Structure 1
């Protein structure tokens, strides 16, 4: 790999970290670029999990330091997101995922419409529809499993759940999404690392860049709140939906 391509990949990691910390979807940038750089699909996914762990970890830390995460309340959430991701990674070779590829673009468009027009997408908290414990025991491992099995849009699903079912404000929902993302990224990385497909030097270099991009993105999201997060969520959902639909054509 030439130094120029290596530098472009590192720069992409920074941009992906910035976007992902605000609205998710950083893989929209990094996965295609890793593939175009010559990595086979499995190596691209594995290396993306490595560098993505830096970004989600950095964003999680920034949100926590701003007071949007209480560590005493997210231990079970993190554990179940990780367990779901491991289960999803283990099941991916045994389950048909074509139906996911067909249904997901439609689901993401519907989520984008919800994010665009729902009055609940704001900086204010609303009434919860279920308890935190019930949500953590059911919804979190399901989305974590999807993240380990397939992945695109997982962050949007997490945010939707936190907002619609727990009544969180959008900044708090995004902060807790980063906890789940970080846990599922690490779990998937540990699973994929055993296959020998991780490009460690490239992944670590992109990860350092993503760390700083995510830190900047999280600070930007905290400062601007729903005014920034809402349109980015809508855009990311539509872009992921378009990319998945295009891949099926």
Structure 2
């Protein structure tokens, strides 16, 4: 851990708690924790790597919460999770050698498009709809692309998985959220493995932030399962717009 002042550590813990809560429902936690780590003085690649460590706790906590209530079958989804992991490893490898400015340029427009989709699409509820592509093709094409994006850049990954599950796989909003957390955990794990192998993970602060992420995610997932689409939909819209504004300001 860097020589951080106590108030900076408290700030990072608070950011992780909030990020875990929001990310477990609508995604976007990285746009809270990564800027917080940059403000604390961490280099960009170190911030991304350490963020992957603490994000494992949040996405893992949410995944276990949703699975324990039967919203996602972990064993059935393992192949897709493996593909997400592999895609993220490849993306993280690219992140260590290339800047991500070109992704930052197009990401706000994509996030606003997702917000508009969820805001105005009728019948956006917790009931499953017709599939547009098969689960096999979904796992073979959509999952590795989003996993790769999470490894190379990150912010908005949960939102991209959400819109893919709802619009292509035909999942209801709560089911899509549950499955998003599993694939996001796998992509976090892949990115973390690559970043750790090149020595850019700060373990002490990452683990401290991870505990806060775990608690925040458990609270958020519990609230999402009680409220379903009526909570997830508006929070997803707000999160996507907030992420887009944040990136535009940057």
Would the TM-score normalized by the shorter structure come out above 0.5? yes
> What SS does the aligned partner of 1:70 have?
coil
Give the equivalent residue in structure 1 for 2:90: 87
Alignment map for 1:68-87 (pairs within 5 Å): 68-87=71-90
State the distance in 1 between where 2:200 and 2:98 align: 22
Q: Is the 8 A contact 1:120 1:126 kept in 2?
A: no
- How many residues align structurally? 247
CA contact 2:20–2:220 (8 Å) conserved in 1: yes
Deviation of 1:15 (Å):
1.1
Provide the C-alpha distance between the structure 2 equivalents of 1:13 and 1:97, rounded to a whole number of angstroms: 23
Further displaced range: 6-15 or 136-145 = 6-15
Point out where structure 2 has 5 or more consecutive residues left out of the alignment: none
Number of the residue aligned with 2:126: 123
Question: Hey, what's the Cα distance between the residues in 2 that align with 1:40 and 1:92?
Answer: 13
- Aligned-pair CA distance for 1:100: 2.2
Partners in 2 of 1:170 and 1:179 — Cα distance?
Answer: 15
Identify the residue that residue 27 of structure 1 maps to in structure 2: 30
Cross-structure match for 1:146: 149
CA contact (8 A) 2:107 2:244 kept: yes
Alignment of 1:46-85 (within 5 A): 46-85=49-88
Quote the RMSD (CA, aligned, Å).
Answer: 1.3
CA contact (8 A) 1:88 1:148 kept: yes
Kindly indicate whether the alpha-carbon contact (under 8 Å) linking 2:166 and 2:173 is maintained by their aligned counterparts in 1. Answer: yes
Query: Could you state the TM-score of these two structures normalised by the residue count of structure 1?
Result: 0.95
Q: Which residue of 2 aligns with 1:155?
A: 158
Given candidates 226, 230, 241, the residue that maps to 2:229 is 226
Q: Distance in 2 between matches of 1:186 and 1:83?
A: 10
Distance 2:193 2:75 in 1: 25
Instruction: Find the counterpart in structure 2 of residue 103 from structure 1.
Output: 106
TM-score (norm 2): 0.95
